[in-house]
Structures are given as C-alpha cells and as structure tokens.
Amino acid sequence: MKIKFSHILKSIVTTIVVTMLFSCESNFKEVQQIGLLQNQPIGEAKDINLKYTEAEDSISKVIANLESPKMLDYSNRDFSFSEFPDGVRLSLYDENNQKNVVLADYGIVYNATDLIDLQGNVILITPQKDSLFAEQLYYDQKNEWLFSNLPVRLKSATANNGHGDIFDSDTKFKNYTILEGRGDMILKD
C-alpha cells in the first residue's frame, strides 16, 4: 500500500509541476506582449493642427500653432511625449499677430517640460524674410524661447549674415545671439 500511495503522490506532484510550467509559459508570453505594447504609441493621429493659446483680458490669443501630417502619442510612458515623424510646421505669433515659421523634418513634444525638439533641415523664417538654417532647434513653450547647440546659419535681409555653433533667441526673433565655437558673437537688437 505504501508503494501505491508513493506512486500516486509522485503522479500528482508531476501533474501539478507540468501544469504550472505550462501556465508560466502562457503568463510569460503575456508579460512579453505588455512590454512590447509599452514601446508602441498609445495613439496615432493624422493632419494635426495644435494651437497653444494664452488668455489675455478674457480673450484667447494664439501664441503658437503646430501642424503635422502625423502624430504618434506616447503618453503611456513615464516621460510622455508626442512624436511627429513626417515633419512639423510651427508658427510663433507676436503681439501684432505677425508670425515666425519654423519648418523641420521631424519633431518631438515633451509633455512634462513643454519643450519641442525640432530636427532635420530646420528652417526659421521671419516676416522680415530673415532665415535661420539648422539641423536641430529647440522651442521652450513656457518661456517662449528658441535655442540650439548645433551649427546654425543666418541669411538675413535686414542684418549681417552669419553662422555659429550656438543659437539663442526669443520667439519674436528680435533679440538673438549666435556664438561661434571660438567665441565670436553676432547680436541683433
């Protein structure tokens, strides 16, 4: 009787272990899928037209307008962001409703910092027909500021043309600085 009981006990234990192994494999596949989903965007939108407004005397005023053919929403991440893989057009308005336009091949908006990272063939065009060319340009929405730490080139209709490694400007492009790696500077008032 002892042998039979021992044999039955081994069979039960073996059955439980095999069942657990198959259960774990199934859960492992589900866990892998969750990991994949976290790396995927939570949403995708086409023909985006986002307006950033500011209330002034109970009247909403458009400060910036971001347009793009495609947006990928990664708000499911700890440091959430929106990606614009097919290019961006960013219009920045001043108090007279004149706009500076920034074009780029690619963009990312970081939600927590209100920072827009514009990359690839970046061109900033002012109403005065001044143009700034860069490979990367950041727009700080909160402080209404543009900057880059990569080479830029300025083609100006109203001031001296220039180039440098560091660019810093208000969104109105009225006060800007271009610094070269060796410390040369171009200023415009």
- Give residue-wise pLDDT tens across range 141-151: 889 899 999 99
| Token pair listed for 105 | 């091949």
pLDDT 10s digits, 150-183: 999 999 887 778 889 999 998 888 788 888 864 4
What is the end-to-end Cα distance of the chain in Å, rounded? Answer: 101
Map tokens 């727009």 to a residue: 139
DSSP for 144-174, please give it. Answer: TEEEESS-EEEE-SSS--EEESEEEEETTSS
Cα dihedral value 129, 148, 136, 103, nearest 10: -30
DSSP state of 127: T
Place of tokens 């543009």: 146
What is the pTM for the complete model shown? 0.72
Length of the chain in residues, anyone?
189
Q: Determine which helix (DSSP H) or strand (DSSP E) holds 35, and give its type and residue range.
A: helix 2-39
**Dist CA 188 CA 154 (whole Å):** 12
Superfamily of domain 43-188: Lipopolysaccharide (LPS) transport protein A like domain (2.60.450.10)
pLDDT in tens, 15-34: 666 666 666 555 555 555 55
Residue 55 has φ and ψ, to the nearest 5°, of -85, 130
**Is 139 a residue whose pLDDT tops 60?**
yes
